[in-house]
Amino acid sequence: MANKFGEAISIIREAFHEPEAFIPLHEPRFIGNEKRYVLDAIDSTFVSSVGKYVDTFEKMMGEMTGAKFAIATVNGTAALHIALLIAGVKNGDEVITQPITFVATSNAISYCGAGLAFVDVDLDTMGMSPASLEAFLTKHCEKKDGGIFNKSTGRRIAACVPMHTFGMPCHIEKIAEICELFGVPLVEDSAESLGSYYNGKHTGTFGELGIFSFNGNKTITSGGGGAIVTDDEQLAKLAKHITTTAKIPHKWEYEHDMVGYNYRMPNLNAALACAQLEKLNFFIENKRELAAHYNEVFPKIGIPFTTEIERAKANYWLMVVRLQDEAEKNQFLQETNGSKVMTRPIWRLLNKLPMYNNSFCMPLSNSLELEATVVNIPSSARI
């Protein structure tokens, strides 16, 4: 086993042409117009939430994803919080999501005062399982006046939030069909899947709303930043209004007509994001080449590598190997990190965290298996 792990470390070091130094999990690359655009924003003196780069970024995001509207936010968590609010999630409601995701997904639901219902994921995508979703809605919910309700908790099911784990598109078309059948708004957490497609359609555009993140460790980054996308003009206007402290536009008066949030992306961050978006295709093709190499060599040493499903094109944000069991996973983590090759386990299941351990849960056998075996390996674009 030690020899197998040594071979894995050699594979990663050879892929990054780095024989000895530390190899991070995923680091940003600034190889385009980043400095020029940021300095231009500074020189303009528009460094807060108003400026040409915010407008340009929103236009670029709409064009890139195929969404009619994009709204820039300060981060992905804020984007999801607002998307849920404008989708109609209210205090006392319940939102369906998956236990395998970054904690921000569940936190954003909690910000709305809603409870969580966890359904299982699929092993092939690590994202929400349509079968588990359908079983939950069929067996554990009932239609009444005002919507569909969880029979156990009595809460109204206000939205469904699947997440495209590590940039791998889930079976989103089937999920969208189920949500439409049961009348549940679909809000896609596409924080990790910028540049990922299912059946030729960009992730984040299958439901009423989708969100993205541009945190420092994402495929492209604005340091901190997020975006909401939608084809609904009224929702887009509401999202922009509520993220700008719900201020009614006026040259000098301060009038606000609802509880709003100071969630707009600053122009400085947008300048960085615009330059990064210009390089998105290069980064993704570079990362897909790395994924193809990993997929060729890791199985030869007995370590399976996770690839995109049929009809999907993944951005391979973070790349995934599967170990045999939890003991082998832990040893792999110890060996690689001890050799200055950064690897990380998948997140702890959210239903195990103290603030969410009383949430409704479907059987989570796939989630438990992935938690015990998945490790992320270095996935940066190589330059």
Cα(191)–Cα(76) distance, rounded to whole angstroms?
6
The string of pLDDT tens digits covering residues 331-349 is 999 999 999 999 999 999 9
User: What is the CATH code of the structural domain delimited by 2-27+280-346+372-377?
Assistant: 3.90.1150.10
Q: How many residues does the chain have?
A: 383
pTM beyond cutoff 0.85:
yes
Rounded mean pLDDT, 111-140: 98
Complete DSSP assignment for 220-270: S--SS-EEEEES-HHHHHHHHHHTBTTBPP-SS---B-S---B-PPPHHHH
Residue 172 · residue 116 · CB < 8 Å: no
Cα(80)–Cα(58) distance, rounded to whole angstroms?
16
Going by pLDDT thresholds of 50, 70 and 90, the confidence category of residue 49 is: confident
Q: What is the pLDDT of residue 383?
A: 82
Q: Which helix (H) or strand (E) holds 59?
A: helix 52-65
Complete DSSP assignment for 186-212: BEEE-TT-TT-EETTEETT-SSSEEEE
Q: What is the pLDDT of residue 307?
A: 98
Residue 311 · residue 95 · CB < 8 Å: no
Report domain extents, the chain: 2-27+280-346+372-377, 34-122+129-279+349-356
* Annotation: CATH topology of 34-122+129-279+349-356: Aspartate Aminotransferase; domain 2 (3.40.640)
* Average per-residue pLDDT for the chain: 97
Residue 76 · residue 237 · CB < 8 Å: no
